[in-house]
Chains A and B, each alone.
Chain A
Amino acid sequence: MTDLKTPAVTFDKTRTPGTLFSTLSIPVAIVVLVVIGAIVSPSFLTVSNLTNVINANSTVGLIALGMTFVMVCGGLADLSVPANVAMGALVTLGAQPVVGPGAAALLGILVATAGGVINGLLVGYLRINPIIATLGTGSVLLGLSQLLIGGGIVYAQPSDLANFVKSSILGVPVLIWIFVIVALILQPLLSRTAYGRWNLAVGGNYQAAAASGVPVRFTKASAFALTGLLSGICGTLLALSNGQARPIIGTGYEFVAITAVVIGGTSVFGGNGSIFRTVGGVIITALIGNLIILSGLPTQATGLITGAIVVGAVGIDAYFRRKAGRE
């Protein structure tokens, strides 16, 4: 039952054990985690707990969505995420007294996007290794953000915007709405538009894509710019909902995002991936963290279990790929 989609789109639908595993693994994993959760703690399977879990991970989830594009186009990873999150947060609150909450939030997002654009120029156009480039820009931006603040906490002024961000619509927190809406926008962007196909092509085979007229440099650069934008949004939302911001606000988010994308099944090699898979990865990562707390395991175990799952997920996927004769 082969599908008549364009070849560049993710999975080919022939039913090998590998593709079956690929397609089913995420829903199955989620179900398994939910079952374990229900057994482990009576407070797990409650609306408030599950809402909390998704809510807490919505902001970092946005970054994972951007990281998906980065990985799909072969950009490996964007390690400047903490810096862009911090910039977004600090500018959002810092500029409030000057231009008002709404404009300040936009300014924060803009600054972080600018950081992403710089990354994009270095990686896409100058062809600099993304690990080094993003490490470099991250250091510079984070250092600058601390220089600007001079070491304190920036407090938010009370504002309607902050109240809105902290509220719920139809019982679902605004943060979750934002995550879902962004995911719904990005999913078809990746899987159905030409732009999405460009990303997949660039990641799959850079030279061939260039030869067939895909604007390879722009594509790669834009993935980093997008991640910068999403990091900025993440920072802005965090700042508004916390009521304050410090430069360390985004620490570790890049690893969480990468882990979510990898668990979701997108390959670090590039060339395939989907937003929905990343959303699945975010949910799985969120559930693991929640389960660990609820089961009374020490919080330090989170990294242990997450790392093991990453190895498991990628290892099994690699095994099936080899078996299927694909790369």
Chain B
Amino acid sequence: MKARRTMLVASAAAAVLFAIAGCSSTESGTPSGDAGSVEGKEICYITLANSHPYVTPANEGAQAAADAAGVKLTIVSEEFSAQTGAEQLNTCVSRGVDGILLWPADENSYLPGLLKAEQAGIPVVAIDTRAGDESMKLIQSFAGADKYDQGKISAQQMEKALEGEGGVVIIAGQAGNGTEIARTGGFMDELEATESKLEVLATVNADFDQQKALVASRDLLTKYGDQIKGVYAEDDTMAKGFLQALEESGLGFIPIVIGINGEAGAFENIKAGTQYSTILQPPFRNGELAIETLVKVMKGETVPEMVPLENTVVDSTNVDTLEPAM
């Protein structure tokens, strides 16, 4: 109908408007220079989420560090979807920014975008989670906790607490997620390396979500009952889910519960004796560290391949002296 045709013409006109404006505006896309100053440069930060207990403080840390360095920070969120993040990576590259900070939601979806970034001469730093090996080759540095190490430490904690014997269940994060792979891998490898007599009864994926952990834990308790001597939850929210299920069940035994992340709730539980330990991983510092590293790269300085966030074990011995991360 006439209205539709008019709309079509009008839309085409709008597109032409874009094009004309584009021809007359300055070309962007200059690759990042090697000069010392980064004032006024732009960093594109592809974060995991806008609204998440760990990620939000990390984003705030990144913003703080960017402000301190005088760099413009544009934050876009992939909302846990690697496909979205890959598209956003493409967009960042085509906008010709001076640096990219990426939070990989999975191992490999960013590879084509990273290749483009390399071609365009834009440095990329990864935050919190590693990408796959092929992708990491294209990334200048990784700033975050060593998740594999966290798994290893957790295994050591479990060994110590159970004195080397007993059944253990693992409540893991999202399958396929770099953090989950590392934390599970670190744990399992350490058990194997020390020829531990601990037996892994089951591994369930609860996607770092308390509700899912609660549901999974109920079923674990139904199935194994007090055979469960130890619980390795790959983050504190999932540990909380297990503890909730335990309380509900009224089964009355107290397994060793180990979590990660250093949440306020976990600190409470350690003080109360229901959780054995957690690992402090301060998100704000994580964000700051990542931007600081990227800024260094943009200035042309060399940075180590990995800039680690310290892993601090928190248990009943030091829980009163430390602050929770969130």
Note whether A and B contact each other (Cβ less than 8 A). yes
Binding site for B on A (CB under 8 A): 41, 43, 46, 48-49, 52, 55-56, 146, 149-153, 155, 166, 238, 241-244, 246-249, 290, 293-294, 299
Chain A residue contacts of B248, Cβ below 8 A: 52, 55, 166
In the assembled complex, B137 has its CB within 8 A of some CB on chain A: no
Instruction: Say whether B55 contacts A151, CB under 8 Å.
Output: yes
Task: Give chain B's interface residue range (CB within 8 Å of chain A).
Answer: 20 to 34
In the assembled complex, B264 has its CB within 8 A of some CB on chain A: yes
Instruction: Say whether B51 contacts A151, CB under 8 Å.
Output: yes
Q: In residues 201-242 of chain B, which contact A (Cβ within 8 Å)?
A: 204-205, 209-211, 214-216, 218-219, 222-223, 237, 240
In the assembled complex, B319 has its CB within 8 A of some CB on chain A: no
* B interface, over-half SS: helix
B50's partner among A46, A52, A146, A244 (CB-CB below 8 A) is: A146
For the complex, give the distance between the alpha carbons of A159 and B272 in Å: 18
Instruction: Say whether A294 contacts B209, CB under 8 Å.
Output: no
Q: In residues 239-280 of chain B, which contact A (Cβ within 8 Å)?
A: 240, 244, 247-249, 264-265
Instruction: Say whether B264 contacts A151, CB under 8 Å.
Output: no
In the assembled complex, B52 has its CB within 8 A of some CB on chain A: yes
Instruction: Say whether B249 contacts A48, CB under 8 Å.
Output: yes
Instruction: Say whether A150 contacts B222, CB under 8 Å.
Output: no
In the assembled complex, B53 has its CB within 8 A of some CB on chain A: yes
B222's partner among A48, A146, A155, A248 (CB-CB below 8 A) is: A48
Known interface pairs A56-B215, A151-B50, A294-B223. Does A242 touch B56 (Cβ–Cβ under 8 Å)?
no
Report the nearest A residue to B209, measured CB to CB: A248
Known interface pairs A48-B222, A56-B215. Does A244 touch B265 (Cβ–Cβ under 8 Å)?
yes
Instruction: Say whether A52 contacts B218, CB under 8 Å.
Output: yes
For the complex, give the distance between the alpha carbons of A7 and B245 in Å: 47
Q: Would you give the shortest CB distance from A146 to chain B, in whole angstroms? A: 4
Q: In residues 120-141 of chain B, which contact A (Cβ within 8 Å)?
A: none
Q: Would you give the shortest CB distance from B169 to chain A, in whole angstroms? A: 13
Instruction: Say whether A146 contacts B265, CB under 8 Å.
Output: no
Instruction: Say whether A153 contacts B209, CB under 8 Å.
Output: no
Instruction: Say whether B244 contacts A152, CB under 8 Å.
Output: no
For the complex, give the distance between the alpha carbons of A112 and B204 in Å: 33
For the complex, give the distance between the alpha carbons of A123 and B161 in Å: 58
In the assembled complex, B326 has its CB within 8 A of some CB on chain A: yes
Instruction: Say whether B222 contacts A52, CB under 8 Å.
Output: yes
Instruction: Say whether A150 contacts B51, CB under 8 Å.
Output: yes
Instruction: Say whether B52 contacts A151, CB under 8 Å.
Output: yes
Instruction: Say whether B50 contacts A152, CB under 8 Å.
Output: no
Chain B residue contacts of A56, Cβ below 8 A: 215, 218
**15 examples of A-B residue contacts, CB within 8 angstroms:** A43-B222, A43-B223, A52-B249, A55-B248, A56-B215, A149-B51, A151-B59, A152-B56, A155-B264, A241-B244, A242-B210, A247-B51, A293-B219, A299-B204, A299-B216
Chain B residue contacts of A153, Cβ below 8 A: 53, 237
For the complex, give the distance between the alpha carbons of A41 and B225 in Å: 14
Report the nearest A residue to B56, measured CB to CB: A151
Chain A residue contacts of B55, Cβ below 8 A: 151
For the complex, give the distance between the alpha carbons of A290 and B222 in Å: 10
Known interface pairs A151-B52, A151-B53. Does A294 touch B326 (Cβ–Cβ under 8 Å)?
no
Chain A residue contacts of B265, Cβ below 8 A: 155, 243-244
Chain B residue contacts of A41, Cβ below 8 A: 223
